[in-house]
A and B are shown apart, each in its own frame.
Chain A
Amino acid sequence: MKFISIMLGGILIQNFVFMQYLGLCPFLGLSEQMDTALGMSGAVIFVMTFASTVAAAFEQFILVPLHLEYMRTIAYILVIAGFVQLVEIFLKKTVPSLYKALGIYLPLITTNCAVLGVALLNARQSYGVLWGTVNGLAGALGWSVAIIIFAGIRERWKFMNIPGTLKGFPLALVATSLMALSFQGFSRLFASVLK
């Protein structure tokens, strides 16, 4: 039940992009093509899920016992950056085709504030390793759903007559606003059942 609650939370009820303002830079920047969106989504799902695991483990086994919670920010960012670096090296050696496919997306994820964001949120809600991982997965899926939907919409903009000054970010932001409005329907979904 908690699993469903967290999953629905990250994807529909409190979507990471549309409700929690996380991961916006890559969301806005990489949503122009469906292929890019799909590629980045795959990378994000993988990294965000397991980076959450690693960060939560670090929290549980090192930070808390040593009362170093105030070092959380530094610790997490180093842990995440290190993890991404390790993944990069590992992929390069074992599955070079995948490494090539992901290209620059992989290092780019370190700056995706959603990754650090979800790890910090996990700590704030004391989720522990298991639920922290689930939350990471949920957030990543929510982010992916958002960017895939957006890419579908943006690809159509090639065929439309958009005034020059509005092209790019202004239009993307207004469109995101409309998408966020559409997702508002899911707020408090299953509220009575999940609480």
Chain B
Amino acid sequence: MGEKLIVTPSPHIKSPRTVKGVMLGVVISLLPACVGAVVLFGMNALLILITSVVSAVVAEALWQRATKQEITVGDFSAVITGLLLAMTLPPGVPLYVPAVGSVFAIVIAKQIFGGLGSNFVNPALAGRAFVLAAWPMSVAGAWLNPLTHDAVSSPTPLAVLKGGGTNIPGLWDLLIGNRTGSLGETSIILLLLGGLFLLVTKIIDWRTPVGFLGTLFVGTWVFGKPGALFQGDGLSAILLGGAVLGAFFMATDYVTSPVTPKGRLIFGIGAGLVTLLIRLWGGYPEGVTYGILFMNLMTPIIDRFVVPKYYGYEHDARARKSAEGKR
């Protein structure tokens, strides 16, 4: 058995699953999209990915060495944080951004609180929020054209939508990634593949991504077009920005999301709502980061209200009701 990892309320069922196993599964599911990012954006993407992962792993190892703890980088959680953070960054970003971001994510958002299992915000997203606040021009602006790798100053499709324009790439381009965006925004097909893998191997619960993407789709469809209702482009909304990446890989992080199925659905919907709010009416073109971070903060409260009184309570309640009905 691997390390302690509290995933559900008791009773617990022993399974051959270990922390390392789950983490490896996540890494595998991310690999296709990473490869896609490198194909689209070349050396820039590769360097950002490598810098981010190496910084994360080294930061974790050094911290654990300095605090005289067992070094757990072998559990791949730092690798995942590094990969996820890199995926949220634009390809043209200077390398100190993923480096500092990763260190912040691992040390401040995770290790200071006691390491894996003790953080209350998603480390990768905390790292991204930090570097976005530290270097707003770089992190929100260093876009490159896919395949040609030249710098681009025109807004990304997401920014175009926010400005009220409609000139965005077609469905096929959105899916395969032939457009500007951050490393993890573009090759949606590959991300969905990874997400599917996670669902099939039951590493993640379908409720969170469905709640999140569903809310985003419906909300954008209803409110997306300024001045009119039910005319928004819901499909583009879920194919753009960090929505798919966030829905499958970040909102589903065990430690920072609720413990019960109902709670996870609430989390997904809540994150979708905040993302919607920010995308449509807020000060940033992309709201996924803050949507998920905000719901991270609400998770303890969600857990408080959603945890059943005892295992089987709901089943008993139903049995009681049907027994009364039969009388």
Chains A and B in contact, CB within 8 Å: yes
Query: Is B92 at the interface (CB under 8 A from chain A)?
Result: no
Residue of A nearest to B295 (CB): A182
On whether A160 and B117 interact (CB within 8 A), knowing A171-B112, A178-B126, the answer reads yes
Residues of A contacting B130 with CB < 8 Å? Answer: 181
Query: Is A175 at the interface (CB under 8 A from chain B)?
Result: yes
Query: Is B39 at the interface (CB under 8 A from chain A)?
Result: no
How far apart are A11's CB and chain B's nearest CB, in angstroms? 13
Tell me, in angstroms, the Cα distance from A5 to B61 when the chains sit together: 47
Query: Is B114 at the interface (CB under 8 A from chain A)?
Result: yes
Query: Is B108 at the interface (CB under 8 A from chain A)?
Result: yes
Residues of A contacting B320 with CB < 8 Å? Answer: none
Contact of B290 among A148, A160, A171, A184 (CB under 8 A): A184
B294-A185 in contact (CB<8A): yes
Tell me, in angstroms, the Cα distance from A161 to B116 when the chains sit together: 10
Tell me, in angstroms, the Cα distance from A156 to B109 when the chains sit together: 15
Residues 21-71 (chain B) with a chain A CB within 8 angstroms: 67
How far apart are B164's CB and chain A's nearest CB, in angstroms? 11
How far apart are B117's CB and chain A's nearest CB, in angstroms? 7
Tell me, in angstroms, the Cα distance from A86 to B56 when the chains sit together: 56
B120-A174 in contact (CB<8A): no
On whether A182 and B290 interact (CB within 8 A), knowing A148-B301, A174-B108, the answer reads yes
B278-A182 in contact (CB<8A): no
- Interface pick from B73-81, B191-199, B281-289: B281-289
On whether A153 and B120 interact (CB within 8 A), knowing A161-B114, A184-B290, the answer reads yes
Query: Is B129 at the interface (CB under 8 A from chain A)?
Result: yes
Residues of B contacting A190 with CB < 8 Å? Answer: 281-282
- B→A interface (CB under 8 Å): 67, 108-109, 112-115, 117-118, 120-121, 126, 129-130, 133, 274, 277-278, 281-284, 287, 289-291, 293-294, 296-301, 304
8 further A-B contacts with Cβ under 8 Å, apart from A179-B297, A185-B274, are A174-B112, A178-B121, A181-B129, A184-B129, A184-B133, A185-B293, A189-B277, A191-B283
